[in-house]
Amino acid sequence: MLKAHDGAEVDIVDRLPTPFGLVRSGVAPDHPETKIVVNQFSRVAANERCSFFGNVNLGTTVSLSDLCEMYDAVVLAYGAESDRYLGVPGEVYLVGRKGPVQAACTAKELREILGIKDLHVRIQKADLATSPADEEELKESRIQQRVYELFSKAATSNQHHDIVGQRELHFMFFRKPDRFLPSESGNTVSGVHLEKTCLKGVVPNMKGRVLSLDQAEHAIVEQGLYVAGWLKRGPTGIIATNLYRAEETVSCKHPGRFQEWVTDARFRLTQTRKTGSSKFQNIRMSDLCHSVDGDTKERMEGELRNKPRKKITAWEELLLAVDG
Ligand SMILES: Cc1cc2nc3c(=O)[nH]c(=O)nc-3n(C[C@H](O)[C@H](O)[C@H](O)COP(=O)(O)OP(=O)(O)OC[C@H]3O[C@@H](n4cnc5c(N)ncnc54)[C@H](O)[C@@H]3O)c2cc1C
């Protein structure tokens, strides 16, 4: 965005006092080559047209409508960070909560399962229906395309070959376990009750442009609102996948229109903070300069322990570190 548009200014807002999201808290320390992407992020953040505001929570500190009012374009990229609660006490039962387009297997693995002798595979055709977002996802990934084709083929082949005693494998998509059903004696489990799911944690979008429904339930494109990262496609893919997807989101802005937005710039968090706008007066924001102090502190603590860094994880301690 900064490269493509000379007039563009970017504010990065994060609920944490520190930048870099899961690259800091997810990617393991024994993947230093992956963590190097932080250098690239830091170079971007060092650009004078870019500012980082930590400790600003979308939903409590600031609302989406506040942001849409203050900025010409808002890109949502708040990841998929909360744990998924399975909701079944005691035992775990694995089912496909997402659809065939999102199935987390390779075509080779699936082919091996489908090729098992005397195994009848059953897939409900209704589960193979695709949304516009699914279609986009399929266009982008050859692997997902192959997997989806294999599921489609399996759903239509061998439908009328029921043989007594034949083993059956039912693929059930968009379901999650809701509760175990007790046997008559109450001592054992007789079944699992499954609940229908929809794809959660993903904002409906078309190439990064946020979609919503108008009053007549027709899909419309929200002006100036975009998504990137795991929020765009769900929690799959590595950092490199996100870079590619973010480029798609940025390039979907019509250049002419974007220039207009920039010259017509309204309010930005940087300006708001300078002018002490009432909405943000009492917020203890952290900025990247101070996060750099926190970074130095973590590295020094790590050095003493023969580690790349000793991460500060307690909220108040983090705020103190980035406050300098
Ligand atoms: C355990 C683990 C290990 C991984 N290892 C690797 C690896 O080795 N290599 C690799 O390439 N990828 C790895 N990944 C994947 C990689 O971390 C993700 O692809 C990437 O971080 C997703 O980027 P994102 O921007 O969508 O989300 P995130 O990196 O999660 O960034 C989202 C940001 O939004 C902020 N946020 C959330 N809610 C709010 C809110 N309400 N208001 C304001 N801010 C908010 C969060 O604080 C966070 O900083 C790993 C992931 C995990 C979970």
pLDDT in tens, 278-292: 566 666 777 766 677
The per-residue pLDDT for 274 is: 60
Residue 241 CA: nearest ligand 1 atom is: 19
Task: State the DSSP code for 26.
Answer: T
Ligand 1 atom closest to Cα of residue 80: 30
Task: Kindly give the pairing relationship between strand 167-171 and strand 119-123.
Answer: parallel
Identify the pLDDT of residue 281. 62
pLDDT reading at 59 higher than 80: yes
CA–CA separation, 24 and 94 (whole Å): 29
Q: What are the residue boundaries of the structural domains of the chain, listed by start?
A: 10-73+253-323, 100-173
Name the residue of 20, 78, 322 whose CB sits within 8 Å of the most ligand 1 atoms, as the mutation to test its pocket: 78
Task: Kindly report which listed range (106-120, 160-174, 213-227, 289-303) carries the lowest average pLDDT score.
Answer: 160-174
What digits encode the pLDDT tens for the residues 229-254?
A: 888 877 766 788 788 778 877 776 55
- Going by alpha carbons, the residue nearest to atom 8 of ligand 1 is 27
Please tell me which residue, 90 or 63, carries the higher pLDDT value: 63
Q: What confidence score (pLDDT) does residue 270 get?
A: 64
Ligand 1 centroid distance, CA of 238 (Å)? 9
What pLDDT does residue 104 have?
84
Confidence of residue 152 (pLDDT cuts 50, 70, 90): very high
Q: What is the pLDDT of residues 194-214, one digit of tens each?
A: 888 776 667 887 878 888 878
The DSSP letter of residue 53 is E
Candidates 12, 16, 22, 40: which one to mutate for ligand 1, based on the most atoms within 8 Å of Cβ?
22
Taking the centre of ligand 1 as the mean of its atom positions, its distance from the CA of residue 230, in whole angstroms, is 7
Confidence of residue 153 (pLDDT cuts 50, 70, 90): very high
CA-nearest residue, atom 6 of ligand 1: 27
Atom 49 of ligand 1 has which residue's CA nearest to it?
21
Kindly tell me if the per-residue pLDDT of 299 is higher than 80: yes
| Ligand 1 pocket by Cβ (under 6 Å) | 13-16, 21-23, 26-27, 31, 34, 57-59, 77-79, 81, 229-231, 237-239, 242
Could you identify the atom of ligand 1 that is nearest to the CA of residue 31? 8
Strand partners, 204: none
**Index of the ligand 1 atom closest to the CA of residue 58:** 42
pTM: 0.64
Ligand 1 centre distance from Cα of residue 76 (Å): 13
> Which atom, in ligand 1's list, is nearest to the CA of 232?
26
The answer to whether residues 78 and 87 touch, using CB atoms and an 8 Å cutoff, is no
Atom from ligand 1 closest to the CA of residue 22: 29
Tokens of 298: 């973590």
Strand locations in the chain, DSSP E? Answer: 10-13, 50-54, 74-76, 119-123, 167-171, 175-182, 189-196, 205-206, 209-213, 219-227, 286-287
Mean pLDDT to the nearest integer, 303-318:
88
Q: What integer best gives the mean pLDDT of the chain?
A: 80
Nearest CA to ligand 1 atom 27: 79
Q: How far is CA 213 from CA 98, 145, 195, 232, 310, in A?
A: 22, 28, 25, 17, 47
**45 in helix, strand or coil?**
helix
Dist. CA 13 → ligand 1 center (Å): 14
Residues constituting the chain: 324
Question: What pLDDT, on the 0 to 100 scale, is given for residue 150?
Answer: 94
CB atoms within 10 A of CB 112: 11
pLDDT of residue 147: 93
| Ligand 1 atom 7: residue of nearest CA | 27
Domain 10-73+253-323, what fold? Answer: Rossmann fold (3.40.50)
- Would the pLDDT of 86 be above 60? no
Residue 38, number of CB atoms within 10 A of its CB: 16
Backbone torsions φ then ψ of 185, nearest 5 degrees: -70, -20
Higher model confidence: residue 302 or residue 217? 302
99: left (phi over 0), alpha (psi -120 to 50) or beta: beta
CA of 249 to the centre of ligand 1 (A): 17
CA of 124 to the centre of ligand 1 (A): 33
